Amino acid sequence: MSTPDAVSVRIVDSRAVRWLGPLVLPALALASYQQLATSGATPYFPSLSDIAAAALQLWFGEGFVRDVLPSLTNLAIGYAAGVILGVSLGLLLGRLPAIGTAVQPVIAFGLTMPAVALLPVFLIVFGIGAHMQQAVITMSVFFVQVVNTADGVRRTDPVLLDLARVYRLPRWRRILQLVLPAASNQVFAGARVGLSAALMVMVVGEMVGASNGIGAVTLLAQQDFAYARMWAGIVLLAVLGVVLNAGFVAVERRLAAHLGLNPADTEGVS
Amino acid sequence: MNDPIVGVTNLHKTYLSEKGDNVALTGVSFDVERGEVVAIVGPSGAGKTTVLRIVAGLLDPTTGHAEVNGSPVMGAPPKEVGFVFQDYSRSLLPWLSVMSNVTLPLRSKGLSKSEAVTKAREALEAVGLSGRERAHPRELSGGMQQRVAIARAVAYEPELLLMDEPFASVDAQTRMDLEDLVLPLRDRFGVSILFVTHDVDEAVYLSDRIVVLSPPPSVVRRIVDVPLPKPRDQHYTKADPRFADLRGEVLDLVRATDVAHQS
């Protein structure tokens, strides 16, 4: 039936399929796009090489400092602030159910309300600039981080809390060494959802209320009928999303391994 | 008789719930003398764990009171108490190494890091886990994890060690090993032990006295003295005719009360 050669061929085959399989559809999509673009039917879809050239010109060198760096800085500051504030309040609410119940309606409201709906208010309060961008990103991360953290903290195994009481662990040990690690799955879940929200809000914030930044450049390009630049912005944002997500997963895995938790357990919780 | 480590007086405990109140204890009283090993047994649902948790300060009685070292246990665990929880898989912190799991209470007690490590090493050695200090709980078998939990309690140097069905979730062989581990610890660290078990053999084998609870609402059915010679031995003690007599007596007490309540 199957000689050793046939087996090895099949292994190679399956490996090739595993690596190349996922690339087939994107390649097809790009090829069709390029076909559409070079047919010259519409100016809205410039060719891939035009987009690449625009991206090079926009996002490297001077453009990097003027537009990419501020975007990333605002994203980092806003996101970090949202996670830290959210985890802190989440811990408090999870540990003090009475306050949790009282604050619940406000949190639920903040969670359902799209952060970008408050952009006009943030514009009035902070004016156009980095502070406004950071504040609205923080806001988009904050609520989801609070809810997930509080949920995780509330679900701390009662045996662990008994343990903390019997052995009289001081509050800070109780929180840092017991409650927070025990809730880490939900904390990560919140941070992951928050990251997607933060990226989206970063783009919208820049489109609405900024003169520089990736979002601003992308929207201005569209308004200037500079479609190659517009597409260059969209491509960069897509790449950013993928890279940030991959980075997040890597960090999460390392931390989960460090905490002795099964990284697989932290997947898909949201 | 006059200076017990544990004094439990007329404990009543009613759990309130929407489906109706559940009376767990209706007047449970007993003492544990210093250096004594006392078991609490009874049919399932007899409030054994409730009594232990009240003594540990993890649960407040409805009326009555528990004393440790002559001081009433009020709302918080007494500092003299170490506790071994039933389920090691839930009471060990998976994100800490074996060593850190054992030193965590010691550091909280105010010991310096090196003092804590020294005591933890001593306790881990006593339970046969030398060399596994850096392992994480998930890398150990169930029996070894429960040894870590015991080492954690012992290293804390409690005057009173409370154990809630400590060997219920390990296999029979490991259970015997752990039983034989606990008795020498009493001599070595001079600790008094009060523990809950549903295993009558284990109660007779380990204890100086056995508190037999009735089915709920529970009272103390009888306190049985266990005058078997020490040190106890899995083979000789269990072959002793008195062991069989005591085992039969306690078993009858546990089961007879079942029948009495069912009819």
| Contact residues of B toward A, CB < 8 A | 56-58, 76-77, 79, 81-83, 85, 87, 90-91, 93-96, 104-105, 107-109, 136-138, 156
- Tokens representing residue A45 in the block: 């879809």
- Quote the domain boundaries for residue B68: 1-80+171-262
Residues B202 and B250 in one domain: yes
Residues B189 and B238 in one domain: yes
Q: What is the DSSP string of B210-260?
A: EEEEPSSSB-EEEEEE----SS--TTHHHHSHHHHHHHHHHHHHHHHHHHH
- Tokens representing residue A223 in the block: 């308004």
- Tokens representing residue A25 in the block: 């559809």
pLDDT band at A267 (very low <50, low <70, confident <90, very high): very low
Residues B209 and B153 in one domain: no
Query: Do A141 and A198 meet the contact criterion of CB atoms below 8 Å apart?
Result: yes
Residues B18 and B41 in one domain: yes
The CATH classification number of A48-265 equals 1.10.3720.10
Q: What is the mean pLDDT of residues B95-107?
A: 94
Closest CA to B54 of B15, B92, B18: B15
Residues B258 and B185 in one domain: yes
Domain boundaries, given as residue ranges, for chain A = 48-265
Pairwise CB contact (< 8 Å): A173 & B107? yes
- Partnered with residue B65 across adjacent β-strands are B9
Residues B185 and B243 in one domain: yes
Closest CA to B204 of B242, B163, B252, B166: B242
Whole-Å CA distances, A83 to A76, A119, A149, B18, B94 = 11, 20, 10, 39, 24
Residue B144 Cα to chain centre, angstroms: 18
pLDDT in tens, B29-56: 999 999 999 999 999 888 999 999 999 9
Residues B38 and B103 in one domain: no
Q: What is the pLDDT of residue A12?
A: 64
Query: Where residue B222 sits, what CATH number does that domain have?
Result: 3.40.50.300
Summary mean pLDDT of chain A: 88
Whole-Å CA distances, B105 to A122, B112, B132, B134, B181 = 47, 12, 19, 17, 21
Q: What is the pLDDT of residue B262?
A: 45
pLDDT in tens, A113-137: 888 888 899 999 998 889 999 999 9
Measured between beta carbons, the chain A residues lying within 8 angstroms of B85 are: 159, 162-163
Q: Work out how many domains chain B is built from and give that number.
A: 2
pLDDT in tens, A176-197: 889 999 999 999 999 999 999 9
B132 falls within a domain: yes
Distance CA B22, CA B24 (A): 6
| Alpha-carbon distance B115 to nearest alpha carbon in chain A (angstroms) | 17
pLDDT above 70: residue A269: no
Q: What is the ipTM of this complex?
A: 0.89
More confident residue, B250 or A61: B250
∠ CA(B22), CA(B25), CA(B27), 5° rounding? 140
Whole-Å CA distances, B57 to A119, B7, B51, B82, B87 = 52, 13, 10, 11, 19
B54 falls within a domain: yes
**b (16+ CB within 10 A) / e for B1-11:** eeebbbbbbeb
pLDDT in tens, B149-197: 999 999 999 999 999 999 888 888 888 888 888 888 888 888 999 999 9
| Residue at which a domain ends, from B157, B189, B207 | B157
Q: What is the mean pLDDT of residues A33-50?
A: 87
